[in-house]
């Protein structure tokens, strides 16, 4: 099941974006989508019948000039994106996630998760969190961990809330899509390895973030973030050439029509380039990999309102379009 998108109603930056589309009669295929909503099947125009989006990104430096050329030559009678189902634009081999990368968000979570045993007032706890953020920025230490590709789902698909997830929360994020292998790259060259950008909603069960049985172990990202469908991605990959500046994009999430997150990427502690470079120091990033850049303030823990059966999330980021996902409770035997 999925929410039917108003696919062409959320414009993206630049002349085209990449998408993975399908119909009831045709399997998923990589597509070029123009701003007018017209669609080109990249299997046809690149003469590669078995092509998938990962193949396009593997050859991104070579193929991207051709795609910009094709985007400028619309042909009458081409199909429209509204006639297709929109999937996650790429199935990544690796998902790298950045935590604690928006200053206000980290302060809010620091206060929400504390148990009061430190004896600090809320004001003092916020000041302590701000000091920690300042120190992290000064020490140049981003926080990056690994997610699972099996959690990725489409931008209009239903999100199943597992029965065991007692506090499911939203975390809307800008995601960089790798277009050239990157290993131990510098901050200055990191963006040369980014093919484009997309939207990711990194859902998290707050009740299982920390191991209560063994507090010394710390966070349990496997359980809290990687349930099937917990990472809606897309709808588009917008080429980096069309979104050159990611330092002031508005990240907005509405829950049942009410705005919950509405923050600029200016509040990020570490830039996209810094995160890609940092992740690449220990991990070889591959074409199609996603590097999530963290979520701004306004999560459910802040509002005291977590996700429930029937909730609808509308998410958008400047220049990247929008996604709409509906939450459904897991049906247990």
Q: What is the pLDDT of residue 46?
A: 94
pLDDT at 3: 47
Q: Are residues 223 and 312 in the same domain?
A: yes
Q: Which structural domain range is residue 64 located in?
A: 16-86
SS3 of residue 203 by DSSP: coil
Strand order in the sheet with 143-147: 143-147, 95-99, 290-292, 172-178, 194-201, 238-239
Q: Give the confidence band of 8 by pLDDT, cuts at 50, 70, 90.
A: very low
Q: Note whether 128 and 149 are same-domain residues.
A: no
Token output for 87: 């999937």
Domain assignment present for 319? yes
pLDDT tens digits for 60-118?
Answer: 999 999 999 999 987 788 999 999 999 999 999 999 999 889 887 777 776 766 666 66
CA–CA gap between residue 37 and residue 82 (Å, rounded): 7
Residue 55 is assigned to a structural domain of this protein: yes
Q: What is the tens place of the pLDDT at every residue in 259-300?
A: 999 999 999 999 999 999 999 999 999 999 999 999 999 999
pLDDT at 107: 77
Shared domain for 265 and 165, answered yes or no, is: yes
Does residue 150 share a domain with residue 123?
no
What percent of the chain lies above the pLDDT cut of 90?
74
Query: Does 4 reside within a domain?
Result: no
Which parts of 119-174 fold into alpha helices (H)? 122-139
Query: Measuring CA to CA, which residue among 202, 228, 243, 208 is closest to residue 101?
Result: 202
Residue-wise pLDDT for 207-230, tens only, equals: 988 888 887 788 888 889 999 999
Confidence at residue 117, expressed as pLDDT on a 0 to 100 scale: 66
Domain count, the chain: 3
Specify the residue for token string 């499911």: 168
**Residue 9 domain-assigned (yes or no):** no
């Amino acid at each position: 099941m999925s929410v039917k998108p108003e696919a062409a109603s959320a414009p993206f930056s630049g002349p085209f974006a990449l998408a993975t589309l399908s119909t009831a009669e045709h399997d998923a295929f990589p597509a070029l989508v123009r701003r007018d909503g017209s669609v080109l099947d990249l299997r046809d125009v690149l003469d590669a019948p078995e092509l998938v989006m990962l193949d396009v990104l593997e050859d991104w430096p070579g193929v991207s000039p051709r795609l910009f050329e094709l985007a400028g030559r619309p042909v009458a009678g081409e199909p429209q994106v509204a006639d297709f189902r929109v999937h996650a634009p790429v199935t990544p081999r690796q998902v790298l996630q950045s935590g604690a990368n928006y200053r206000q968000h980290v302060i809010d979570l620091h206060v929400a998760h504390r148990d009061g045993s430190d004896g600090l007032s809320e004001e003092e706890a916020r000041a302590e969190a701000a000091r920690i953020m300042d120190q992290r920025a000064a020490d140049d230490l981003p926080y990056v961990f690994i997610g699972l590709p099996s959690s990725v789902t489409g931008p209009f698909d239903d999100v199943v809330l597992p029965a065991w997830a007692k506090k499911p929360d939203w975390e809307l994020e800008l995601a960089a899509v790798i277009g050239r292998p990157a290993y131990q790259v510098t901050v200055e060259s990191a963006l040369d390895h980014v093919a484009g950008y997309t939207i990711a909603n990194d859902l998290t069960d707050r009740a299982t973030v920390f191991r209560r049985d063994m507090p010394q172990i710390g966070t349990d990202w496997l359980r809290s973030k990687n349930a099937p469908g917990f990472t809606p991605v897309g709808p588009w990959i917008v080429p980096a050439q069309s979104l050159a500046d990611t330092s002031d994009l508005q990240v907005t999430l509405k829950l049942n029509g009410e705005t919950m997150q509405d923050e600029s990427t200016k509040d990020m502690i570490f830039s996209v380039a810094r995160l890609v470079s940092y992740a690449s120091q220990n991990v070889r990033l591959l074409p199609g990999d996603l590097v999530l850049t963290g979520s701004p303030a306004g999560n459910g823990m802040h509002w005291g309102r977590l996700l429930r059966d029937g909730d609808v999330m509308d998410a958008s980021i400047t220049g990247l379009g929008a996604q709409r996902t509906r939450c459904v409770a897991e049906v247990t035997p």
